[in-house]
A and B are shown apart, each in its own frame.
Chain A
Amino acid sequence: MATAAAQQTAGTQVYGGQDDTADTAAYEHAFDTAVAADERIEPRDWMPDAYRATLVRQIAQHAHSEIIGMQPEANWITRAPSLRRKAILMAKVQDEAGHGLYLYSAAETLGTGRDELLDKLHTGRQKYSSIFNYPTLTWADVGAIGWLVDGAAITNQVPLCRCSYGPYARAMVRICKEESFHQRQGYELLLALSRGTPEQHAMAQDAVDRWWWPSLMMFGPPDDESAHSAQSMAWKIKRHSNDELRQRFVDICVPQAESLDLTLPDPDLRWNEERGQHDFGRIDWTEFWAVLKGNGPCNEQRITQRRQAHDEGAWVREAAAAYATKHAAPAPRTHETGAAHA
């Protein structure tokens, strides 16, 4: 927030509004002006409590999605069918861990620690993207995830590069660069399968059939059922509605599927001349809500593995902390302690 509200950061920080009403109103006004002017809100700026809370929730869940999202793909690292593909997949999973780190750091600028957020993930109080509750059953799933899941993620995330909260927007710029690389690689993987043997082609088609609808669900519930949408758009955290982004994604995918020589599993999918967009079939929202509430195919497995990795790693983290304490450089001597030792 560079200009309009710069003066507010110069004064005392006010969190939670225990200051008098006139000041709070002034802060609120400065915040609204900054958002309206498309300026970035930065960590030390005043912001409404609800804005802070929404961002913590969204960024944390985004971070959780990156680290849970490592599992379905890591499932195939040891079975990748060529060394080149294996290297690509390892690099991708490594990038996801890195994205998780960026995002936890962005969340921490809002005053919440990574440990606390991980604990919320492990105890089911915070969610991750529903897509990662689907299993990777064949090698082609790795390609379908790259093309469709990363594709949907990018469609969602590119507008977040202009999100009103600076640290989140900057994290998204870096993440989107890497994600679009992954997406191209996924597409290329599917293309190799599609142009390969009949068995490979069938494997690619089967993967697309299973991942298409879950990918469309990644954009969230329809606009009239989306709880946080209106407020998030007013705060310029979100820039487009769920349905707008979903439509954009469908329109991007249809020609790509054609050039892959693969079909999309939707009999109602067709070009609508009048709208200049594709019409597509109805999403199974019953399945969406079931997966979101924990009853998808892999919910239990994903969270169990995450908790297990965390629990089994506890002794390692404790050792690192104990070592750091033992070998900490002595605190710089202040005038007083210096005098006391002397």
Chain B
Amino acid sequence: MVLSHRLGEWAGHAPVLEEEVALANIALDLLGQARVLLSLAGDEDELAYLREERAFRNLQLVEQPNGDFAHTIVRQLYFSTYQHLLYARLATAEGPFAPLAAKAVKEVAYHRDHAEQWTLRLGDGTDVSHERMERAGEALWRFTGEMFRPVEGLDMDAQELEAAWLESVTSVLSRATLTVPEGPRSGAWTAGAGRQGLHTESFGRMLAEMQHLHRSHPGASW
């Protein structure tokens, strides 16, 4: 839901018309997945609009501001690679997430391909685009470790998933002539804390914007 919101901020600002369509498409897929997940847990709107910042459990990676197109693409590459690998595994496993994962894995395959194609184009495009991608790759790297922390109620082999993710991302970055960042994959004191409701500063502002109308009319239906 949070990443979908971030991608929604691109509407009307994308570098080319085809990307208006693509980014909105990805945002819609993600929102659809979020609605299914939230509905499994309770009322989707109550959970989206009436929880405060500390009660959100999203990864810090997905709440990162859009930045330039390179930041958006790298965030998408890191996340949809993870999501694709995770959903592919969940789809074949037993458990409450299997039906969702089976549907979502097809959508996420497209997101991953989109992010990979753009990583190649920007990494191996011009000097400017290469430089911007290097910076984005570096800046977001510290948020990727969190994806592989164990999550309560989610039965997955985190180590195996992480190894598959690293291999895939390394391969794409290398083909895009980009450096695989060397820094730590968990940031400072908030390391892996999104799942515990500890977020980065921009997240509160994002929620304020997202929730303000809903909260201004308590009990109203829309």
Q: Which residue of A has the minimal Cβ distance to B45?
A: A82
Q: Which of A276-307 contact B (CB under 8 A)?
A: 305
Is B24 in contact with A90, judged by CB distance below 8 angstroms?
yes
* Nearest chain B CB to A281 CB, angstrom units: 32
Tell me which of B17, B48, B126 has the highest count of chain A C-beta atoms within 10 A of its own C-beta.
B17
Known A-B contacts A83-B35, A86-B31, A320-B125; the reply to A312 vs B15 at CB < 8 A is yes
Q: Which residue of A has the minimal Cβ distance to B38?
A: A83
C-alpha spacing A35/B43, complex, angstroms: 58
- Say which size band chain B's interface belongs to: 35 or more
Is B220 in contact with A200, judged by CB distance below 8 angstroms?
yes
C-alpha spacing A101/B35, complex, angstroms: 29
Count contacts on A: residues with CB < 8 A to the other chain.
Answer: 51
When distances are taken between beta carbons in the complex, the residues of chain B under 8 Å from A101 are 17-18, 21
When distances are taken between beta carbons in the complex, the residues of chain B under 8 Å from A85 are 222
C-alpha spacing A93/B13, complex, angstroms: 12
8 Å CB contact of A97 from B21, B35, B121 = B21
Is A70 in contact with B128, judged by CB distance below 8 angstroms?
no
A79 at the B interface (CB under 8 A): yes
B93 at the A interface (CB under 8 A): no
B135 at the A interface (CB under 8 A): no
Q: Which residue of A has the minimal Cβ distance to B124?
A: A323
C-alpha spacing A109/B47, complex, angstroms: 49
Q: Which of B200-222 contact A (CB under 8 A)?
A: 209-210, 212-214, 217, 219-222
Q: Which of A313-328 contact B (CB under 8 A)?
A: 313-324, 326-327
C-alpha spacing A310/B15, complex, angstroms: 6
Main SS at interface, chain A = helix
C-alpha spacing A305/B14, complex, angstroms: 11
Is A93 in contact with B15, judged by CB distance below 8 angstroms?
no
Is A77 in contact with B13, judged by CB distance below 8 angstroms?
no
B154 at the A interface (CB under 8 A): no
8 Å CB contact of B132 from A84, A90, A93, A315 = A315
When distances are taken between beta carbons in the complex, the residues of chain A under 8 Å from B21 are 94, 97-98, 101
A197 at the B interface (CB under 8 A): yes
A58 at the B interface (CB under 8 A): no
Q: Which residue of B has the minimal Cβ distance to A326?
A: B124
Is A313 in contact with B16, judged by CB distance below 8 angstroms?
yes
* Nearest chain A CB to B166 CB, angstrom units: 25
C-alpha spacing A125/B12, complex, angstroms: 21
8 Å CB contact of B129 from A83, A318, A326 = A318
B8 at the A interface (CB under 8 A): yes
8 Å CB contact of A309 from B8, B9, B12 = B12
* Nearest chain B CB to A265 CB, angstrom units: 24
Known A-B contacts A97-B20, A320-B125; the reply to A192 vs B8 at CB < 8 A is no
Report which A residues bind B (CB closer than 8 A): 67, 70-71, 74, 77-87, 90-91, 93-94, 97-98, 100-101, 104, 139, 189, 192-193, 196-197, 199-200, 305, 308-310, 312-324, 326-327
